[in-house]
Amino acid sequence: MPSMARNSSIEEPTKKAKMIKDKRIIVILCFLFCLGCTSDEYQQAEQAYLQAKSSHNISQLVTSLTVLARLAPEEYSALSLTAQQANVKHLESKKYIEQKNYYLAYISSHDSLHKMYSVESKEILEESGVVFLPILKAKKNLDESYQHHPLDIASLAHYEELPTLDWDLIELNSLLKKFSENIRSLEKSIGLINTISPPSFSSLSSEILSIELRIKNQHLRYKQAQNYLIDLALYRNAKLLISLNQKLSKENITISQIFNDNKIDDAMRPFLEKSINKYAANKNVIENIFFAASTNAKKHHSVWYKKWQRLEAEIFEPIGGFVNYSLYAKHTNERLMVYVNKKKIQLPTIEKQTMISLDFFQENKVISALIEKLAKDSRFFNS
């Protein structure tokens, strides 16, 4: 009996040890099984992520990164969060583009695209952002006009202080060409702004109108400056032409009393040539002004220049010759008097401290942010 008791006590620990060992084996097998399953899931998720990354599909990127973040949080949690944030912005932009709210669609698609690149966000960004590209182009034109900003009272008043024949024509031509180039550039800017249809910028209406007003004011100043120089030259030349016309008219009256009609033109020739020579230098100034100012607006300046040429011709090349010249001279002088109204010759309105374009756009925070985004995305619009 004692022997049987000893054997029983030995067998019990052995069974317990075996059971513990079996449990450990089962745990290890379960762990290995789970590890195998996890490894397979991880590999599949990683493969899905690489495929989504290659196709730049935002929904696939979110799905695959969500799995990877669960399996390898330290490596993928931050990236998964970025993908989710990008997707939220993409879904917002999708909703806005369906509502034809191009401004908010662009802002959301921009935020989405710069968090994580996706084909879907790029498509919405291009569709919505292109609506506002005219603002970016208009700003560039406005910047250029400020960079070539010759508008200051001193430089313009300088011409009033000098006799017309003492004007530096090279300097004057350069100045008028700059005015003309800036006027044309700003007209393009106004046209660009007007291409943006109101429904596209409903939430930006006040900002867009503010930009348009600023560009129009700048455009007006250049027009005023250009017109000031043209009007000043015409004012002085008109006074000279009136004087020459009156002298020729008096000579014509005297000669008409002495010579027959067929001799009057020959008799007037010396007086005419003297008047032409006296006016020649002034005529050259007007011609220079016309060609310099009409660099980008020949049609506009041709109107006043052709009127002026007709007045010159009435004095120096009368169609009927000098028979009854004095009768027509009176009507010519009446038309020339329109040009000698000094009150119409005004210097442009210029701010004491000229605000540069950059200052203006920086003051307008919404437009400044929009332009910054558009500039950043320019590569997408040109692709």
pLDDT tens figures, 117-176: 999 999 999 999 999 999 888 888 877 777 665 566 677 888 988 999 999 999 999 888
Can you give the pLDDT at residue 196? Answer: 80
Q: What's the gap between Cα 300 and its chain centre?
A: 23
Can you give the pLDDT at residue 324? Answer: 85
In the predicted structure, residue 236 carries a pLDDT above the cut 60: yes
pLDDT band, residue 348 (cuts 50/70/90): confident
Can you give the pLDDT at residue 20? Answer: 55
In this prediction, residues 254-262 reach a mean pLDDT of 90
Can you give the pLDDT at residue 271? Answer: 95
Token pair in block for residue 299: 């049609």
The answer to whether 187 touches 123, Cβ cutoff 8 Å, is no
Q: Which residue has the higher pLDDT, 43 or 207?
A: 43
Considering only CA atoms, which of 143, 132, 138, 148 is closest in space to residue 188? Answer: 138
Q: Rounded to whole angstroms, what are the CA distances from 85 to 79, 125, 220, 355? A: 10, 16, 47, 40
Among the ranges given (12-26, 54-68, 191-205), the one the predictor scored with the smallest mean pLDDT: 12-26
Q: Is 85 helix (H, G, I), strand (E, B) or coil?
A: helix
In the predicted structure, residue 17 carries a pLDDT above the cut 80: no
Q: Which residue has the higher pLDDT, 25 or 363?
A: 363
In this prediction, residues 86-91 reach a mean pLDDT of 96
Non-local (6+) Cβ contacts of 31 within 8 A are none
* R_g over Cα of the chain: 42
Q: Which residue has the higher pLDDT, 28 or 372?
A: 372
Among the ranges given (35-49, 241-255, 363-377), the one the predictor scored with the smallest mean pLDDT: 35-49
Considering only CA atoms, which of 223, 160, 216 is closest in space to residue 188? Answer: 216
In the predicted structure, residue 41 carries a pLDDT above the cut 60: yes
In the predicted structure, residue 23 carries a pLDDT above the cut 60: no
Q: Is 163 helix (H, G, I), strand (E, B) or coil?
A: coil
In the predicted structure, residue 86 carries a pLDDT above the cut 90: yes
pLDDT band, residue 22 (cuts 50/70/90): very low
Token pair in block for residue 1: 């009996």
The answer to whether 104 touches 202, Cβ cutoff 8 Å, is no
Q: Which residue has the higher pLDDT, 199 or 354?
A: 199
DSSP code per residue over 288-322 = HHHHHHTSS-HHHHHHHHHHHHHHHHHHHS-TTTT
Q: Which residue has the higher pLDDT, 348 or 88?
A: 88
Considering only CA atoms, which of 93, 107, 120, 128 is closest in space to residue 200? Answer: 128
Can you give the pLDDT at residue 254? Answer: 93
pLDDT tens figures, 181-190: 888 888 888 9
Q: What are phi and psi of 280, to 5 degrees?
A: -50, -50
| pLDDT mean across residues, the chain | 84
Q: Rounded to whole angstroms, what are the CA distances from 34 to 31, 39, 66, 69? A: 5, 8, 19, 18
pLDDT band, residue 39 (cuts 50/70/90): confident
Q: What is the dihedral of CA 78, 79, 85, 89, to 10 degrees?
A: 160
Can you give the pLDDT at residue 199? Answer: 63
pLDDT tens figures, 197-209: 666 666 677 788 8
pLDDT-above-70 percentage for the chain? 82
d(CA 299, CA 309): 15
Can you give the pLDDT at residue 31? Answer: 42
pLDDT tens figures, 280-314: 999 999 999 999 888 766 777 889 999 999 999 99
Can you give the pLDDT at residue 123? Answer: 96
Helix (H) or strand (E) holding 33: helix 2-55
pLDDT band, residue 244 (cuts 50/70/90): very high
d(CA 319, CA 238): 20
Tokens 């046209």 sit on residue: 191
Can you give the pLDDT at residue 353? Answer: 44
From the number of C-beta atoms within 10 Å of its C-beta (0-12, 13-18, 19+), residue 142 rates as buried
Tokens 């008219």 sit on residue: 249
In the predicted structure, residue 32 carries a pLDDT above the cut 70: no
Can you give the pLDDT at residue 14? Answer: 59
Non-local (6+) Cβ contacts of 220 within 8 A are 348
